[in-house]
Amino acid sequence: MENKDLSFEEYLTELEKILRDLENKDISLDEAVKGYTKGVEISKKCYEILEENTKLVTSKMTDNGLVEFTEE
């Protein structure tokens, strides 16, 4: 699977597939390592998407005169 231009939801679907594959007891070590590595890459992309959207929402809130929220 090429990871370019996928939506957040599509990335999550791919992560769920990888998780199901990793839970399979018949998977080889090599396949498990490849799946894990791919899952980490996709997780990073999901995190980037969430960060970008958090910044966008925060920006829109402050542009409309609302106070910027902070994470605790």
Q: pLDDT per residue over 31-56, tens digit each? A: 999 999 999 999 999 999 999 998 88
Cβ pair 49, 11 in contact under 8 A: yes
What is the model's pTM?
Answer: 0.73
Domains of the chain: which residue ranges? 8-61
Cα-based distances in Å from 7 to 19, 27, 39, 43: 18, 28, 15, 13
Residue 16 pLDDT greater than 60, yes or no: yes
